[in-house]
Every structure is written in structure tokens, then in C-alpha cells.
Structure 1
Amino acid sequence: MKSLIIFCGILLITGTSEAQFKFLANNSSDQYKAKIFVDKCEGNACGGKATIIVYDKITNREIDTFHSEDLDFGLTESQNAKLGWLELGKYQTPLIFGDFNFDGMEDLAIRNGNNGAYASPSYEIYLSSKENKFVKSGELTKLASENLGMFDFDKKTKQIAIHQKDGCCFDKTINYKFDAKNVLYEESSVIEDSSIADMVTVITQKMVDGKMKRTVQKFKMKDYYNQ
């Protein structure tokens, strides 16, 4: 009976391994590479539950393992996921590496479905630690999951920007920075509202001496968008 249980367990593991599609992400980072195992690939679309194993690019040492409920990404017409290990292009992979909190260490964003505004891509954010492990950031994951896709991050200004939209005529960009204690705060925002006739109302807010300064400007639509 014991032998039968072990044999069935081996069959289950083998079946699970064969059912998964396997990918390599070797060109998305200067420091890391990854192996990706995902449940579903139909046509040019892959997704579903996935496991991601991240390795040091130089030493090949395994760094960390992650899981996604829906690692949604696409393939080109020439790529066939059924042929075994398939290498993904730099901008094709559902992993985004970058220094999101501007501490000099490379962090990781992992695609997790389309839960953002207007069914846009959503990501879970993991920050690199000095122990060569990644720690999930709740506040950055929220920014990357509840707005229009992944946030922008600018190394020069050390600023994170999210984008929001409400219908055809309301767009908002919010810019965040980290303070000296590495606490995220809203540094500025810009609202563009073109819902009234042929006018665009621009509302700008910016943190000045610890207080948010607000300005409102109105432009002719043709003049504003031709600037």
C-alpha cells in the first residue's frame, strides 16, 4: 500500500510538471535571470497560476521563488510554448526589474492578472533586501494594481508616477517620492479635465514647504493639445 501511494505521488508530480509550460527570462535584468512555469498557453496567450524562480545571473545561485495567480503574457507567432524551454524577449516577459525605491538595488514586479483600472495589467511589487531576498511591498503593490497598469519610475528625479482615468475626458497623474525615512508621499499631481465644451481645465497640486499648493488653469482645447 505504501509503495502504491509513493508511485501515485510520483505520477502526480510528473503529470503536473508536464502540464506546465516552461520559459526563461534571461534578458530582463543585469543582475538576475528567471525560470517561469505557467499553467496555460493557448495560441499566443499564456496565463494562469505560475511559479517564478529567480537566480543570480553570475553565480547561478537560486535567490527566491514567487507565485502568481495569473501571470498573463503573450507570445509571438513564431514562438511555440509546447516545444519545451522557450526564452522570452526583454520586453515580452511578465517580469519587470528596476530600482523602484531608488536605494541602488534592483527590485521586481510580477504580473498578476488584469486587475487595474479598465482591466489594465496589475503587478505585485517585491523590493530587494540586503539579505539577497525580496520582500513584498504592500504600498507599491497597491499603486501597481489599482491604477492604469504599472507605475512609471524615474531614476533621475527619484519619482514614481501613477496614471488614473475616468471616462473619456478626465485624466490624472500623481507623482510620489520617498522621504529621508524611505516613506512614500505624494509630491505632486496634475488633473486634465476636458469634459466641458472645448475647454481643458488643468488642476496642478505640488508640495511646497510641507504644504500642498494648488493652481487651476483653463485652456482652449485646440491650444492645449497643440502645445
Structure 2
Amino acid sequence: MTMNMNISNYYRSLSAFILLGPLCFGQYQFEVKDASKNYDAIIHIDNCFSDQCMDKGTVELFNNNNTKVQTFTSDNLVLHLGEGQRLERGKVIPLKKEQSPLIFGDFNFDGTEDLAIRNGNMGNYSSASYDVYVFNSTRMAFVKSKELTDLGSNYFDFFETDPVRKRIITFGKDGCCRFFTTEFEVIPQKGLDKVLEKEEDSSEDGYVKVIIKEKKNNKWTTRTKVYPSDQYNR
């Protein structure tokens, strides 16, 4: 009789574990409040260690009325704690903008706020990489952009935006002495068009060779100039 009761209790416990999974033990939770003018976020990550997290996680986005608007997942959310912060399961830990694995901005220059979510270190020289979601006004939801995710994942860290010229600017490097800048024009309803490539090569002692390839009227031109190292500023 006792053995049957123990077996019954075991299977009840096992069923609860299967149903609830990690909720039985709690996840690490973080809150981001100052990264966006329109949204706050709650981040859940399964595993953290020391002063950083690098694991699968979810991001819950809330509007200014504290209504949840969308949930996202990332296979590798990466974030670092600030000085004096301590990991504790079940406790909501606040993150400053510079700690957050989220980047908000108008990446496609349509007047609405978009979102980039850290997806590991897949960028140039193992730099930060991001999945990029643009806000779709028709669906009233964030939709993942393949083009912008490629730019956010394959270059050196996250890209910059130039809202005046409506361009996205990416960076890269090769070894100690070669740096690359690439600019893409954002064309509404069409996508991205690469319009500039710039290479700065300081491998020759005392000099910097700059090669600029630029697209104008669907034609590419190339300009090359060599500067003394002490007279060149990147």
C-alpha cells in the first residue's frame, strides 16, 4: 500500500514538472524601462552565471498603458549586470539602456519605432548580433526583417542610421589595419540598395590608402587616395 502511494505521488510530481517545466524553478527576469519612448520590456532568460546571461530567452513588450503588445524569442539573449547588481531567480532586475539586449529606433525611416533583439555574437570578429523587427502599421505588429537582420548580424556590432539621407551604415574590419564602411539606402516599399563602400587600409607603414566605391544613377565609380598617417582622421 505504501509503495503504491509513493509511486502515485511520484507520477503526480512528474506530471507537474512536465506541465510547468522551468516555471517550477523560476527564470531570471529583467526589466527595461528607459530604452524606448513607447515601450517597456520584461525579459526572461533560462540560465545566467556570474554577472552575465547568454541563453535562450523571451522578451515581452508592453505599451505605455502597461498592455502587453507582443512576445519575442531569442536563441541567445546576451546581457551584463551593472556594478552592485546580483542575480536572483524570481526577482525582477532593472536594466539600464546600455545594459539592455534591446535596441529601439526607426530603422527603416517610416516614422514608427522598430526593435532589434540580441541574438548572440555572430557579427564580424564575434561582435554583437541582432534580430531586427520593423513595425508593420497594417498588421499593427512587429515583423522580422530578413534584410535588416542580415545587416544586424553579419557586420561589426549594430549598424548606424542616417535619417537625413535615409541610409543605414555598417562597419567591419580585417586584421589590424583594414576597416570597411558600407552604406545602404532605404527605398520605401522596395528594400535596401547598397550605394557606398569605403575601405581604409593602413597596412603600409606611414600611409593610409582610402578606396571609395560609390553608386550614382545606377553606375559605380571608384576613387582612391593615399594620405600620410599623421594627417588622416577616420
CA–CA separation in structure 1 for the residues paired with 2:32 and 2:188: 34
Q: Give the structure 1 partner of residue 4 of structure 2.
A: none
CA–CA separation in structure 2 for the residues paired with 1:103 and 1:45: 35
Distance 1:6 1:211, change over 3 A: farther
CA–CA separation in structure 1 for the residues paired with 2:206 and 2:127: 29
CA–CA separation in structure 2 for the residues paired with 1:180 and 1:142: 18
TM-score where L is the length of structure 1: 0.91
- Contact 1:112/1:122 (CA < 8 Å) preserved in 2? yes
Determine if the alignment matches structure 1 residue 47 to structure 2 residue 54. Answer: yes
Q: Give the structure 2 partner of residue 96 of structure 1.
A: 103
- Contact 2:168/2:186 (CA < 8 Å) preserved in 1? no
Q: Give the structure 1 partner of residue 17 of structure 2.
A: 11
Deviations 1:97-143 (A, max 9, x none): 11000001111100011111111001000111112211111111111
Aligned pair count?
225
Any unmatched runs of 5+ in structure 1? none
- Contact 1:22/1:81 (CA < 8 Å) preserved in 2? no
CA–CA separation in structure 2 for the residues paired with 1:176 and 1:136: 18
Determine if the alignment matches structure 1 residue 35 to structure 2 residue 29. Answer: no
CA–CA separation in structure 1 for the residues paired with 2:226 and 2:81: 44
Q: How far did 1:14 drift? A: 4.8
Determine if the alignment matches structure 1 residue 155 to structure 2 residue 160. Answer: no
Any unmatched runs of 5+ in structure 2? 1-6
Q: Give the structure 2 partner of residue 127 of structure 1.
A: 134
CA–CA separation in structure 1 for the residues paired with 2:17 and 2:207: 66
CA–CA separation in structure 1 for the residues paired with 2:12 and 2:134: 39
TM-score where L is the length of structure 2: 0.89
Q: How far did 1:61 drift? A: 1.9
CA–CA separation in structure 1 for the residues paired with 2:136 and 2:117: 17
Q: How far did 1:74 drift? A: 0.2
Give runs of ≥4 in structure 1 deviating > 3 Å. 1-15
Match of 1:69, SS state, is: strand
Distance 1:10 1:27, change over 3 A: farther
Deviations 1:77-113 (A, max 9, x none): 3112206011111221100011000001111100011
Q: Give the structure 2 partner of residue 66 of structure 1.
A: 72
Larger radius of gyration: 2
Distance 1:9 1:157, change over 3 A: farther
- RMSD between superposed Cα atoms in Å: 2.1
CA–CA separation in structure 2 for the residues paired with 1:10 and 1:33: 32
CA–CA separation in structure 2 for the residues paired with 1:49 and 1:102: 30
- Contact 1:38/1:51 (CA < 8 Å) preserved in 2? yes
Q: How far did 1:196 drift? A: 2.0
